[in-house]
Chains A and B, each alone.
Chain A
Amino acid sequence: MNLGHLRATLWLRWHILRNRIRRGGKLSNVLFGVLLVLILCACVGVFFLTLGLGIEHLPGAEPKDVLLAWIALTLGFLFSWSIGLVTDLQRSDAMSFKNLLHLPVSLSWVFLYNYLSSFVSLSVAIFLPAMLGLSLAMVVTHGPPLLLCFPLLLGFFGMVTCLTYQLRGWLARLMEDKRRGRNIIAAVTFGFVLLVQLPNLINIGVHRSDRDERHREREELRELRRLAHEDGPGKAEAEAKLARRAEERAQDELALERNITLATMLIPAGWLPYGVRATAERRWLRGGLCAVGMFAIGAWSLRRSYRTTMLSVVKGGGPTREVPVAPPPSVGKRTTPMVERTLPFVSEGASSIAYASLRGLLRAPETKLLLLSPVFILAVFGVLLARPSTREALSSFAPALSLGAITMGLLSIVQVLQNQFGLDRAGFRAYVLSPVRRDRILLGKNLATAPLGLGIGLIALVAVQLLIPADAEHFVGACLQLVSAYILLCALGNTMSILSPMRLKEGGFKAANAKFKTILWQLLAVFLVPLTLSPLALPSAAEFVLGLQGWARAVPVYPLLHAAGLVAVCLLYRWMLLRQGELLQNREQQILDVLTRD
């Protein structure tokens, strides 16, 4: 790539951006501008903040404090970076190789350009100025030798971005084999989210028992201090115990510091804080080695990434492997394929849509990724509820807990419910062209997501029942409540899907070229979920009132009220479905335009 190529590339990027802004609409552009100004202000702000704080506090700080400050910044960056990584797991190059392959441009330069473009992220925009500010403060307070902080910083960012770029490139290559690749993406994301959330789960689960222990210790310490201050008979003993405690604590802190230092020395992600601390202690060799190590990892990773990319681009495809041939269907015993099955009491059209959509949903990696969130919600809340003290405190709120569990469970699939046609993409055209009544299309769509919604809700209910058991009446009532909740959310979701559809990028639930207004409506609808489900709390309130009168003992009020509620919800849903069908018919061309527009 020569200077002319670079200028042409920058010109192209600018024109793409300009055209996108032109097409974005006034409101979106204003918001984009405001966001850009805010980010710029944040960049400058955090730079001067860390510079000021560093100049103020670093002169008197011990090496371990310097280490902790840098660890905090490093962890903050890695956490923020990892969120961005999960959001956009597969690499999307700033410049497509396919569009440039036939042009006289050096591919290595295109690769480098794409790699440098991957730096453009909010995490880098916030944490790089923060770290630069702190590094400058280190130079100001500790003298010019601390200029070594800058190569360390560069090495760290180089290492993280190169490794990420390599991972994203590898995933992009896997994606070329669409069926296998997309499942791998789901698995990798699952593993990645689990890894990121692991400390949180450990903190909630394991540390909570430690916290109880620490609370007891603090109480004992307060008592010892009181005894030591008073001139009573236990003063001497209390003082001796306090001294012993102080000594133990100092030893603990020393051990912790040693462990942290060791961890930063052994884990490459910790080489930045370790290197800065070593440099602050005038141990130049260690600091230098850390910088060299990070540069080496970054360079190795970038080289690997380059080779993989070139292999993929030049050889024109991903890993070569035999396409597995599906076994021929067994003769005689023919099982009915899912898309051929029919649902009782439901029209052929709705039945067909329900099964075909469910088939598609179960295969879509997007759905597999979506189903991760209830797993984590269950894990986090399960660990919380598993504590005896929590169980004891919440045992009298079983009905409220069941509604909470249902809401949390259903919230995890609200993205599908509120944008029913988003995953169909061009397939929505088949609905527009179909002779099926539009209310039946909506019914089919709602039935397709029922196994997911009701399944997740039921698992949540059973989990709550196992942890905080309620009597059979309440459990049955909660199950009826779940069905009502799902139907109510379907009614809300249908309206949102018709009025505010969003085109989704392939492989995820990320909106593609969505207008700000649409995103705002979708967000608003998420907040409407608890409000929509709030009438389902009425049976609990009614049971409470009837209980005060003493009537609730004679009849199973709770399940009966929920059964009545379910009937009312079904009638409301039926009434709404007919109107939503008409609305869909009126708006199907606009929806198609949104879903298929590039």
Chain B
Amino acid sequence: MDLAIRTGALTRTFGSFCAVDKIDLEVPKGTFFGFLGPNGAGKSTTIKMLTGLLAPTSGRIEVLGQDPRVHAQALVMKSRIGVVPEDLALFDNLTAAEYLTFIGRMHSIRKDLLRQRIDELLPLLDLKKDETKLTVEYSSGMKKKLALAAALLPDPDLLFLDEPFEGVDAVASRTIRKLLTTFVERGSTVFLTSHVLEIVERLCTHVGIIVGGALVEQAAMDELGSGGSLEARFLEVVGTDVEQDPQLSWLEEPGL
């Protein structure tokens, strides 16, 4: 199997706290991989290590056949990936068009091709009317869309998306979903984290579930246990008692 991402005993600790604990991840090429987990499970830490934003404490990483810890290989890998990081990577004092131009030039895209792609991306993500605004003036949803545009711009082989739908409106969300599906259909790979299980279930071909820093599930969507329902499987591996109704003592008493 041709793998886009492979890790071996990948670990990251912060002092005595182990955020990611010896995970062995395998993401086949051409798949839409959903990386799930409760808050603080280690999703963003993993994505940061895979993209070179954070150094692992120990373990092996291979992204598109390159090791991000080796300088020369890291640059090759970065020329072939697109990333929407958790806290984005925008410059306050540039406009959307300027930022995209900058990113395109960093990836050595030809000028005419770059202009053409920017002219397509901005209206598609509904950013055209705000293209003269500085990114510092953008709402969080607009920033997210701009970051996604920047990730798509160099036509990468692999996309890392950390919560790409957070704060994005329904129309843009639909557009992004369609774009990503097309992206995967042509043989590229998407590695996505999201809290919205419905989106993951609808889009992803493969899932991985991380809980407390440990990878507890990794399978193709149709090979999932619990009758194929992602939510049921997720709740099962996270350890939540589905049958038990949440209760608060004061809500049991009659109100006004």
Chain A positions near chain B (C-beta within 8 angstroms): 178-179, 325-326, 337-340, 348-349, 351-353, 356, 359-361, 363-364, 424-430, 432-437, 506, 582, 585, 589, 592, 596
- Which residues of A sit under 8 angstroms from B137, Cβ to Cβ? 178-179
**Inter-chain contact B92/A425, CB cutoff 8 Å:** yes
- Also in contact, A359 and B94, with CB within 8 A (given A426-B89, A430-B103): yes
- Which residues of B sit under 8 angstroms from A364, Cβ to Cβ? 92-93
- Which residues of B sit under 8 angstroms from A348, Cβ to Cβ? 105, 108
**Inter-chain contact A352/B106, CB cutoff 8 Å:** yes
In the complex, the number of residue pairs spanning A and B with C-beta atoms less than 8 Å apart equals: 108
Partner of A339, one of B79, B88, B101, B136: B101
Q: How many residues of B contact A (CB 8 A)?
A: 38
- Also in contact, A592 and B75, with CB within 8 A (given A356-B94, A360-B93): no
**Inter-chain contact B105/A349, CB cutoff 8 Å:** yes
- Also in contact, A337 and B78, with CB within 8 A (given A424-B91, A429-B53): no
Chain B positions near chain A (C-beta within 8 angstroms): 51-55, 71, 74-76, 78-79, 81, 83, 85, 87-94, 97-99, 101-103, 105-108, 111, 132, 134, 136-137, 150
Report the minimum CB–CB distance from B108 to chain A (whole Å): 5
- Which residues of B sit under 8 angstroms from A430, Cβ to Cβ? 89-91, 102-103, 106, 150
- Can you report 27 residue pairs joining A to B where beta carbons are below 8 Å apart? A178-B137, A179-B134, A338-B98, A339-B101, A348-B105, A349-B105, A349-B106, A349-B108, A351-B105, A352-B101, A353-B102, A360-B93, A363-B134, A425-B92, A426-B87, A426-B90, A427-B90, A429-B87, A432-B52, A432-B53, A432-B89, A433-B51, A434-B78, A435-B75, A436-B106, A506-B92, A589-B53
Complex Cα distance A208/B91, Å? 48
Partner of A363, one of B55, B88, B89, B93: B93
- Which residues of B sit under 8 angstroms from A338, Cβ to Cβ? 98
Report the minimum CB–CB distance from A579 to chain B (whole Å): 13
- Which residues of A sit under 8 angstroms from B105, Cβ to Cβ? 339-340, 348-349, 351-352
- Which residues of A sit under 8 angstroms from B107, Cβ to Cβ? 434-435
**Inter-chain contact B106/A435, CB cutoff 8 Å:** yes
Partner of A326, one of B79, B91, B101, B132: B132
Report the minimum CB–CB distance from A330 to chain B (whole Å): 14
Report the minimum CB–CB distance from A588 to chain B (whole Å): 8
**Inter-chain contact A429/B52, CB cutoff 8 Å:** no
**Inter-chain contact A433/B89, CB cutoff 8 Å:** yes
Report the minimum CB–CB distance from B92 to chain A (whole Å): 7
Taking A337-B97, A596-B87 as known contacts, 11 extra A-B pairs with beta carbons closer than 8 A to each other, sorted by chain A number, are A339-B105, A348-B105, A349-B105, A352-B106, A359-B94, A425-B92, A427-B92, A434-B107, A435-B76, A435-B107, A582-B71
